[in-house]
Structure 1
Amino acid sequence: MPTIGNIILPDFPLLLAPMEDVSDPPFRRLCKLHGADLMYSEFISSEGLIRDAMKSKQKLDIFDYERPVGIQIFGGDEEAMEMSSRIVDAVQPDLVDINFGCPVKKVVCKGAGAGVLKDVDLMIRLTKAVIKGTNLPVTVKTRLGWDENSINIDEVAERLQDIGVQALTIHARTRAQMYKGHSDWSHIARVKNNPRITMPIFGNGDIDSPEKALEYKNKYGLDGMMIGRAAIGYPWIFNEIKHYFRTGEHLPEPSMKDRIEAARNHLIWSMEWKGERVGIFEMRRHYTNYFKGIHGFKEYKQKLVTTDGAMALMDVFEEIAQVYANYQTV
């Protein structure tokens, strides 16, 4: 069983990836309910935390029912990273995670996220600063390297472990690939098989079905895997994978009733956390995913994304439940 500090995870844990504008407390609550073993906040700007930026501060919200949970920070300035890790420490998550993998230009341009892959010495200094600022276990999420000609994950893993990082999640793409092309987990397996590496190594990238999860588990021999985009609008994927690991069989697909219940809960929890107006607005991007592939759903999706007011939306869900009462998902 992998351990991170005093966190004991189940055998081959499934982690929920930190995703901006997705991995907030309402979404994490759903994923926890459906089998996620360890979750992370959306990534938080260290500079934003220090400036007391409202959006950054709100991302620090964690709840006991979602533990173990980590808060992920990013930044390119040592002092800011140390100060922000002190702020995170005060909130008492179970761990602090550093994002050295985000490929988005606005992050990379600040010498943060995947931008740090071009300067491993800076990565080490930033990580040391975070470790200095917190009493919590520190973990890292990164990529294979900047591009295919500069894959440096072997050196990165050894150096991070040497300064006290307690687990490493590797997205099996380079920064140049962004989220496109093929993810190559063989590089992650090589890191895991390095006799010097003793910290848990988790793989990330393209896990979107129980079959692929089992194939990669058996093929690459890692300590666990992180799931991101495949969980959006489909939190059932965690339990589906676990069931498939145990039995080799598929759980039944979520019924229409399950989908409605998940979307409605997500909405209710979003409104409770963000307030009614913002909760309703920010849920609109999720409905397509909850009801993907449902025949004739366009009219109701339109209602869900244009209706204002909590009571009116509950009426729409009730209407969907009645219309699709006998609908069988295939």
Structure 2
Amino acid sequence: MSTAFAPTSHKDVSCPLQVGSVQIPNRLFVAPMAGVTDRPFRQLCKELGAGYAVSEMAASNPRLWASEKTARRLNHEGEVDPIAVQIAGSDPEMLAEAAQFNVDKGAQIIDINMGCPAKKVCRVAAGSALLRDETLVKQILEAVVSAVPNTPVTLKFRTGWDREHKNALNIARLAEQCGIQMLTLHGRTRADLYTGSAEYETIAAVKAAVKIPVVANGDITSPEKAQAVLAATQADAIMIGRAAQGRPWIFREIAYYLRYGETCPAPTIEEARSVLLAHLKAHYQFYGEVLGVRTARKHIIWYTQHLVGGQAFIDQMNRLDTTEEQEAAIDAFFADQAAVRTRLAYCE
């Protein structure tokens, strides 16, 4: 569907959303993104207006649970409720065991991944590859729901395997029958990856076909687009992914626009600097010095790449090897920004 459709109405995203026994404080969600939605990023997005954030994919294979990487992904210490963990895999018994393991670790919502299009995930018949086998989908959903009867189980999926094999309606109805409490639909097929335009008409059809909450995901990059997607799909909530990278305040921007019908002022230079440095402080504490410096680079790039002088700054920053050097470079960069303006201004 074209992005040029005109919004006719919008939902109040500030209202809570009930998902099974769990109340989500508002209807602005952070998408699970591998290597991005770690605990510091989820926490920051919640502080800046998101009501809900799903963890990075957690492996369903018990042999991986003791690994440092998986242990870090399952670290929710100090995180604002609700705690949502996404599990991925293709074996119903393993996924059921993973769900119970994560609930025991503090998860309040379990999300099943049937949306990831990555080759390494689909190669093992997980993620969106599962959409080709509706019998297996049913077995997985029933196994996970049965394993954690007191915890809401949700499903994130795509519209189908490819444009010739779209089965979102079948999957949605099946999920509701199996006891899934909420659906998040990325409006693309697995074959689309992240290209082309999201199919909002498919999300609208799914919303009309089920009684459980439906969340719209895909190409929501601005407050105006958020309003238009809500109007086109009548979804109960929206999920933001890539647009929140380097712009975690997008959630409050959307909430403001939907409430007042106008764009809120861009963050001040000082506020943007403070948000980035606070994010990095939490990031460094979470990962440690060496890994923290390396994994922080992508976040710093996202915050600065569209600002005046951003590319030159990124070239310099990528050569820095300590947290102190990164923080000093950021201070200097934002001081240069503040010398010519008071609020963020992006290059075209």
- TM-score, with length taken from structure 2: 0.90
The aligned residue for residue 185 of structure 1 is: 200
Contact 1:50–1:80 (CA under 8 A) maintained in structure 2? no
Matched, 1:141 2:156: yes
The residue type equivalent to 2:32 in the other structure is P
Post-superposition offset of 1:50: 5.1
Measured in 1, the distance between the counterparts of 2:305 and 2:326 equals: 19
Post-superposition offset of 1:40: 0.5
Post-superposition offset of 1:51: 5.1
Which of 2, 17, 33 is matched with 1:2 structurally? 17
The aligned residue for residue 121 of structure 1 is: 135
Post-superposition offset of 1:292: 2.9
Contact 1:117–1:123 (CA under 8 A) maintained in structure 2? yes
The aligned residue for residue 213 of structure 2 is: 200
Unmatched segments (≥5 aa) in structure 2: 1-15
Post-superposition offset of 1:10: 4.4
The residue type equivalent to 2:35 in the other structure is D
Measured in 2, the distance between the counterparts of 1:168 and 1:49 equals: 29
Measured in 2, the distance between the counterparts of 1:119 and 1:35 equals: 37
The aligned residue for residue 163 of structure 1 is: 178
Which of 261, 278, 285 is matched with 1:248 structurally? 261
CA-atom RMSD in angstroms: 1.6
Measured in 2, the distance between the counterparts of 1:292 and 1:305 equals: 12
Post-superposition offset of 1:85: 1.2
The residue type equivalent to 2:60 in the other structure is S
Post-superposition offset of 1:283: 0.6
Question: Residues 157 and 24 of structure 1: is their aligned pair in 2 closer, same or farther, counting only changes over 3 Å?
Answer: same
Matched, 1:291 2:304: yes
- TM-score, with length taken from structure 1: 0.94
The aligned residue for residue 310 of structure 1 is: 323
Post-superposition offset of 1:315: 2.3
Deviations 1:155-209 (A, max 9, x none): 1111111111000000000111011011111111111112xx2110001000001
The residue type equivalent to 2:261 in the other structure is G
- Which sits farther off after the overlay, 96-105 or 58-67? 58-67
Measured in 2, the distance between the counterparts of 1:49 and 1:28 equals: 26
Measured in 1, the distance between the counterparts of 2:51 and 2:77 equals: 15
- Which sits farther off after the overlay, 20-29 or 59-68? 59-68
The residue type equivalent to 1:52 in the other structure is A
Contact 1:171–1:204 (CA under 8 A) maintained in structure 2? yes
The aligned residue for residue 4 of structure 2 is: none
The aligned residue for residue 37 of structure 1 is: 51
Deviations 1:4-47 (A, max 9, x none): 12222346x01100000000011112111111111100011211
Give the SS at the match of 1:262: helix
The aligned residue for residue 232 of structure 1 is: 245
Unmatched segments (≥5 aa) in structure 1: none
Post-superposition offset of 1:86: 1.6
Provide the identity percentage. 34
Matched, 1:71 2:62: no
Matched, 1:273 2:304: no
The aligned residue for residue 117 of structure 2 is: 103
The residue type equivalent to 1:193 in the other structure is A
Contact 1:203–1:225 (CA under 8 A) maintained in structure 2? yes
Measured in 2, the distance between the counterparts of 1:49 and 1:68 equals: 27
Measured in 1, the distance between the counterparts of 2:142 and 2:67 equals: 24
Matched, 1:216 2:199: no
The residue type equivalent to 1:72 in the other structure is Q
Contact 2:39–2:79 (CA under 8 A) maintained in structure 1? no
Post-superposition offset of 1:48: 5.6
Give the SS at the match of 2:305: coil
Contact 1:49–1:56 (CA under 8 A) maintained in structure 2? no
The residue type equivalent to 1:310 in the other structure is T
Give the SS at the match of 2:205: helix
The residue type equivalent to 1:111 in the other structure is A
Contact 1:172–1:188 (CA under 8 A) maintained in structure 2? yes
Deviations 1:43-75 (A, max 9, x none): 112116655332122211113442113100100
Runs of 4+ in 1 over 4 A off after TM superposition: 48-51
Deviations 1:118-151 (A, max 9, x none): 0011011112222232231100000011111111
Measured in 2, the distance between the counterparts of 1:64 and 1:271 equals: 16
